[in-house]
Chain A
Amino acid sequence: MIQVVREQKGSISVYKLSGNISEDTHFDDVMGPSNPEMEINCKGILRINSMGVKAWIKYFQTCQKSGTKLNFSECSTAIVEQINLISNFTCGGTVESIYLPFSCLSCKTELSGLFKTEDLKKMKMNLPTLKCTKCSGKAEFDDIPEDYLAFLGQ
Chain B
Amino acid sequence: MSGNKGNESLKKSLILLSERPEDKVFAEQVCKSTGLHLKTTAETEEAVQALSQDAHPVIFVDGSTEKLYTNFEESVGKTLGIFSEKVQPNAIHFLTDDEVSQAPFLAQSQILGNFVTRDPEDSIASGRHYGRIVKAATKGTPFDLSEVFQKDAKTQAIEIESVTHKQKTLEAVKAYLLAANWTPRTANRITSSVDELLMNAFYDAPLAAGLTSDATYPSLNLNEISKRANVTLRLAFDGVYFGVSVTDFYGSLDKGRLMKHIAKEFSKSEYKVKASSFNAGIGLSIVHQTGGSLLFMSQTNVKTEAMLFFKKTDKFKDFKRQFRFVSTQFYF
What residues make up the interface of A, taking CB atoms closer than 8 Å to B?
Answer: 1, 20, 22-24, 46-51, 53-55, 57-58, 61, 77-78, 81, 84-89, 101, 103, 108, 110, 142-144, 147, 150
Return the CB mask of B169-189 against A: 1 if under 8 Å, else 0.
000000000000001110010
Is there a chain A Cβ closer than 8 Å to B248's Cβ? no
Q: How far, in angstroms, from A90 to B81 measured CA to CA in the complex? A: 49
Contact B316 A142 (CB under 8 A): yes
Contact A150 B267 (CB under 8 A): yes
What is the CB-to-nearest-CB distance from A47 to chain B, in angstroms, rounded to a whole number?
5
For A87, list chain B residues within 8 Å (CB). Answer: 266-269, 271-272
Contact A61 B315 (CB under 8 A): no
Binds A, one of B121-129, B230-238, B279-287: B279-287
Q: A23-B199, A50-B286, A110-B185 are in contact. Are A144 and B273 (CB under 8 A)?
A: no
Residue in A88, A110, A144, A150 whose beta carbon sits within 8 Å of that of B320 in the complex: A144
Is there a chain A Cβ closer than 8 Å to B305's Cβ? no
Is there a chain A Cβ closer than 8 Å to B191's Cβ? yes
For B290, list chain A residues within 8 Å (CB). Answer: 81, 85
Contact A84 B316 (CB under 8 A): no
Query: Chain B interface: which size bin?
Result: 20 to 34
Is there a chain A Cβ closer than 8 Å to B215's Cβ? no
For B267, list chain A residues within 8 Å (CB). Answer: 84-87, 150
Contact A143 B199 (CB under 8 A): no
Is there a chain A Cβ closer than 8 Å to B257's Cβ? no
For A55, list chain B residues within 8 Å (CB). Answer: 275
For A150, list chain B residues within 8 Å (CB). Answer: 267
Q: List 30 A-B contacts (CB under 8 A).
A: A49-B192, A49-B196, A49-B283, A50-B199, A50-B280, A50-B283, A53-B273, A53-B282, A54-B273, A54-B275, A54-B278, A77-B185, A85-B266, A85-B267, A86-B267, A86-B282, A87-B268, A87-B271, A87-B272, A88-B272, A88-B273, A89-B273, A101-B185, A103-B183, A103-B314, A103-B315, A108-B183, A142-B315, A142-B317, A147-B320
Q: How far, in angstroms, from A51 to B314 measured CA to CA in the complex? A: 30
For B273, list chain A residues within 8 Å (CB). Answer: 53-54, 57, 86, 88-89
Q: A46-B188, A143-B316, A144-B317 are in contact. Are A57 and B283 (CB under 8 A)?
A: no
Q: A47-B195, A50-B199, A50-B286 are in contact. Are A22 and B167 (CB under 8 A)?
A: yes
For A142, list chain B residues within 8 Å (CB). Answer: 315-317
Residue in B188, B199, B275 whose beta carbon sits within 8 Å of that of A61 in the complex: B275
Return the CB mask of B286-327 against A: 1 if under 8 Å, else 0.
100110000000000000000000000011110011000000
Q: How far, in angstroms, from A58 to B290 measured CA to CA in the complex? A: 23
Contact B272 A85 (CB under 8 A): no
